[in-house]
Amino acid sequence: MKTRQNKPINLLLISATLLWCGFIGYQHHRYTADELREMYSKPASEWPTPLVDEGIAWKEIAPIPPSPYKDVDSLRPLVDLGKVLFFDPRLSSSEQISCSSCHDPQLSWSNGRTVAVGHDHQLGQRNTPSLFYTWAGESFFWDGRVASLEEQAKVPVENPLEMHQGLEDLPAKLDQIDGYHPYFEDAFGDGAITVDRIAAALAYFQRTLEGRTSDLDKFLKGDKDAMSDEALRGLHLFRTKARCMNCHSGPFLTDNKFHNLGLHYFGRKYEDLGRYQVTKDPEDVGKFKTPTLREVMRTGPWMHNGLFHSMEGIMNMYDHGMSRPKPRPEFKDDPLWPTTSEILKPLGLTQEEKHDLIAFLESMTTLIYRMPRPELPQ
Amino acid sequence: MKTRQNKPINLLLISATLLWCGFIGYQHHRYTADELREMYSKPASEWPTPLVDEGIAWKEIAPIPPSPYKDVDSLRPLVDLGKVLFFDPRLSSSEQISCSSCHDPQLSWSNGRTVAVGHDHQLGQRNTPSLFYTWAGESFFWDGRVASLEEQAKVPVENPLEMHQGLEDLPAKLDQIDGYHPYFEDAFGDGAITVDRIAAALAYFQRTLEGRTSDLDKFLKGDKDAMSDEALRGLHLFRTKARCMNCHSGPFLTDNKFHNLGLHYFGRKYEDLGRYQVTKDPEDVGKFKTPTLREVMRTGPWMHNGLFHSMEGIMNMYDHGMSRPKPRPEFKDDPLWPTTSEILKPLGLTQEEKHDLIAFLESMTTLIYRMPRPELPQ
């Protein structure tokens, strides 16, 4: 009988898990908040070594470097054009859906929804990424299928589930709006409207989008009191016991890589093979890009499919070692059956530690802001 | 000189304010959380008397009564039709905007925006109210201009800034969608589609919308530990020093009345005369309806114009006695010049007290939920 056969293996697994939890409990010294404040007020080179698995390239957490695209006079006309285009619903076939419909500044450049509502109220499959700090992105979309914002910008415009606008018709459509001519002239020296120019302007506008200065950045730049005790404990947990730095490191708290968290729903209704759809490499089945954690507390729901509405839920899932689905019999020998990343392990976090980790995420989340919508050219 | 003449008056005002703050500081005894838990675990009739001004009708805070419209078998077909209509963008002239565009279940039946984005991306003037507990509403819209959800439902459909759909054409439009006929038959006994039937179905669907059970309700129903110490201190402050019960009382934390908070921008660009537009009574200039505080922490930005993005900001404004704008010379003798409500006074709240009040508001805010969008009739 299957159940009986599995018993020794189950017992072994349980013992191994208990041993592991004992081990991580043992090795993680509990510092007081004062000790942590002292420790982390030193230069980052003197911080405790983070708990990062062998072979993983990581970078230390650091303040956000200045955007090379913001407040650059020569780029201003391009950015201004991009802003107008970004908020203009005439970029969609229905003339009712703009980039800002799903990426709203007031909703942290996303939309607060599991998945976006697009053309004819159709739903997409993936959660809308926020646009904070896209200037630093190394690839775009959850599967990283394009390498530049210029390439990215064209996709939602054309997507029949999103703006549903044939790109080939768009330049002529905008050309009929007289008010657009001076914008293109200022940005490009002449009034010709092309798909590439539209995409370039949208890309450059998006490269200027940033959050306010966070408590984390203030702390990293020397303001010892900018982070609460909870957030400081969270920072240390993030770097050690909670193993977050294995994927979320550097100033933007991302490795820009792709990982399998077991949320691929392989062979089921909500199946999403992620990075594999781009590379066709069986190793990439079910992998999705590590998102930046900058502004993360305002960019929920989270994960590539918007599965989680609460950060507590996410903490619980990571604490369990995330999801490790077992193949149904018909997938047992499927060469595409994806294996959840070995980086993910049970963590043995207490409720207070989960709370502290969330406080740390709060420390890199800043206040909302309103960007007035530009007047649209007529 | 004007400044000099004003000095004694200023001094007098400052002294009066200091005296007032001293007075409220004196009269508000600081109970420990344990004392408060003991006090508020008794029946509400034995709670301390709330600080409510003379002549104000108030009701004690109480658990939410069960909705008389929910899970009623005979209403089910009407509610089902209403749900389909609510999520159907074909109720707008562009066929891209549904009621759910601005009242999204995932965004707490609102949209997270200062003001909504409607037809052709036009902006309205007022913040979109959430639809939680509309079944208990006594009037609708910020100025209370209609008394029933049936009347309310027609307005956004027709509003050129919102769904921009002529009501006279709507029944014929829906009649062409075969899939709607059985819905109308089930709900009304025959397949005739009329504006009033559409409105009735939308109204009944909305009457079923509620939050989950809140910590406040659990506490009020006898679970002594359902509220944190902070929230309990907040409850007591809410009922006493912070003077909130003057307007926010009863199970839904609203008096269903209209008050002038000084946010009317009289004679300025963002002027909104509020309730006066309905009654034409000069007493009503600048008055807006007291909203329910149920689920309030998820329904921001707040106020009739979505002015506040942070609850801390709201606490600071109430603490100052809210806004009391002085008329510019040309409005000095204007009979319509509105006077901010006398209920609002400086409160002398500490930072911790503001924090506790927000914790109390958290205790009446529950977890978000997702309502799957219905399949639209074809």
CB-CB under 8 Å, A117 with B112: no
Among A366, A128, A357, residue whose Cα is nearest residue A245: A357
Distance CA B205, CA B109 (A): 13
**Residues of A with CB below 8 A from B101's CB?**
117
User: What percent of chain B has a predicted confidence (pLDDT) above 70?
Assistant: 93
| Residues 6 or more apart whose Cβ sits within 8 Å of residue A53 | A246, A342, A343
User: Closest partner residue to A112 among B112, B120, B373, by Cβ?
Assistant: B112
- Tell which wins on pLDDT, A192 or B11: A192
Distance CA A323, CA A266 (A): 12
DSSP classification of residue B270: T
What mean pLDDT value characterizes chain B?
A: 93
Q: What is the pLDDT of residues A235-292, one digit of tens each?
A: 999 999 999 999 999 999 999 999 999 999 999 999 999 999 999 999 999 999 999 9
| Closest CA in chain B for residue A366 | B310
Does position B22 have pLDDT exceeding 80, yes or no? no
Phi then psi for residue B105, to 5 deg, are -55, -40
Interface of A with B in 248-267 (CB under 8 A): none
* Residue with token string 């004690």: B60
Distance CA B335, CA B327 (A): 11
Distance CA B252, CA B150 (A): 21
> What confidence category does residue A97 fall into, taking pLDDT thresholds of 50, 70 and 90?
very high
CB-CB under 8 Å, B120 with A96: yes
CB of A21 closer than 8 Å to CB of A28: no
Q: Is B117 on the interface with A (CB under 8 A)?
A: yes
Distance CA B366, CA B363 (A): 8
| Closest CA in chain B for residue A108 | B112
Angle between helices B195-206 and B149-158 (to 10 degrees): 110
Q: What is the pLDDT of residues B48-87, one digit of tens each?
A: 999 999 999 999 999 999 889 988 999 999 999 999 999 9
Distance CA B164, CA B166 (A): 7
**Residues of A with CB below 8 A from B367's CB?**
309-310
Beta bridge partners of B370: none
| Closest CA in chain B for residue A312 | B367
Interval A207-220 mean pLDDT: 97
Count of residues in chain B: 378
Interface of B with A in 80-99 (CB under 8 A): 87-89, 94-98
Q: What is the pLDDT of residues B89-142, one digit of tens each?
A: 999 999 999 999 999 999 999 999 999 999 999 999 999 999 999 999 999 999
Q: Is B269 on the interface with A (CB under 8 A)?
A: no
Among A119, A192, A128, A122, residue whose Cα is nearest residue A158: A119
Phi then psi for residue A338, to 5 deg, are -85, 145
**According to the 3-state scheme, what is the secondary structure of A233-280?**
HHHHHHHCCCCHHHCCCCCCCCCCCEEECCCCCCCCCCCCCECHHHHC
* Residue with token string 């406040």: B216
> What confidence category does residue B24 fall into, taking pLDDT thresholds of 50, 70 and 90?
low
CB-CB under 8 Å, A95 with B94: yes
Give the pLDDT of residue B358. 98
* Residue with token string 């199946």: A271
> What confidence category does residue A95 fall into, taking pLDDT thresholds of 50, 70 and 90?
very high
Give the pLDDT of residue B66. 86
CB-CB under 8 Å, B94 with A96: yes
Distance CA B236, CA B250 (A): 15
Prior bond of B301 cis (ω within 30°): yes
Give the pLDDT of residue A2. 40
**Residues of A with CB below 8 A from B310's CB?**
367-368
With 0-12 CB in 10 A as exposed, 13-18 as middle and 19+ as buried, what is B247? buried
With 0-12 CB in 10 A as exposed, 13-18 as middle and 19+ as buried, what is B313? middle
Distance CA A139, CA A145 (A): 7
The nearest CA of chain A is from the CA of B160 a distance in Å of: 13
> Identity (one letter) of the amino acid at B33?
A
With 0-12 CB in 10 A as exposed, 13-18 as middle and 19+ as buried, what is B131? buried
Candidates B117, B163, B310, B365: best to mutate against A (most CBs of A within 10 A) is B117
Alpha helices in chain A (DSSP H): 2-27, 33-40, 76-86, 99-102, 149-158, 170-175, 180-188, 195-206, 215-220, 229-239, 276-279, 311-319, 351-363
**Residues of B with CB below 8 A from A89's CB?**
120-121
> What confidence category does residue A1 fall into, taking pLDDT thresholds of 50, 70 and 90?
very low
| Closest CA in chain A for residue B88 | A121
CB-CB under 8 Å, A373 with B120: no
**Residues of B with CB below 8 A from A123's CB?**
373
User: What percent of chain A has a predicted confidence (pLDDT) above 90?
Assistant: 90
Candidates B92, B96, B351: best to mutate against A (most CBs of A within 10 A) is B96
**Residues of B with CB below 8 A from A113's CB?**
104, 106-107
Phi then psi for residue A288, to 5 deg, are -130, 160
Candidates A106, A122, A303: best to mutate against B (most CBs of B within 10 A) is A106
Domains along the sequence of chain B with CATH: 28-66+213-363 (1.10.760.10), 73-206 (1.10.760.10)
DSSP classification of residue A127: P
CB of B94 closer than 8 Å to CB of A95: yes
> What confidence category does residue B4 fall into, taking pLDDT thresholds of 50, 70 and 90?
very low
Q: What is the pLDDT of residues B303-320, one digit of tens each?
A: 999 999 999 999 999 999
CB of A239 closer than 8 Å to CB of A61: yes
Alpha helices in B45-179 (DSSP H): 76-86, 99-102, 149-158, 170-175
Q: What is the pLDDT of residues A9-67, one digit of tens each?
A: 555 555 555 555 555 544 567 899 999 999 999 999 999 999 999 999 999 999 999 88
Distance CA A232, CA A363 (A): 9
Distance CA B359, CA B353 (A): 10
Pairing of strands B258-260, A287-289: unpaired
Distance CA B71, CA B93 (A): 33
C-alpha count within 13 angstroms, C-beta hemisphere, residue B271: 11
Angle at A260 between CA A254 and CA A261, to 5 degrees: 85
Q: What is the pLDDT of residues B202-261, one digit of tens each?
A: 999 999 999 999 999 999 999 999 999 999 999 999 999 999 999 999 999 999 999 999
- Host H or E run for residue B288: strand B287-289
- Host H or E run for residue B287: strand B287-289
Interface of A with B in 337-356 (CB under 8 A): none
> What confidence category does residue A234 fall into, taking pLDDT thresholds of 50, 70 and 90?
very high
Distance CA A163, CA A198 (A): 15
Interval A312-317 mean pLDDT: 98
Beta bridge partners of A274: A287
- What is the radius of gyration, based on Cα positions, of chain A? 23
Among A3-12, B27-36, B301-310, name the most confident range: B301-310
CB-CB under 8 Å, A117 with B106: no
CB-CB under 8 Å, B114 with A370: yes
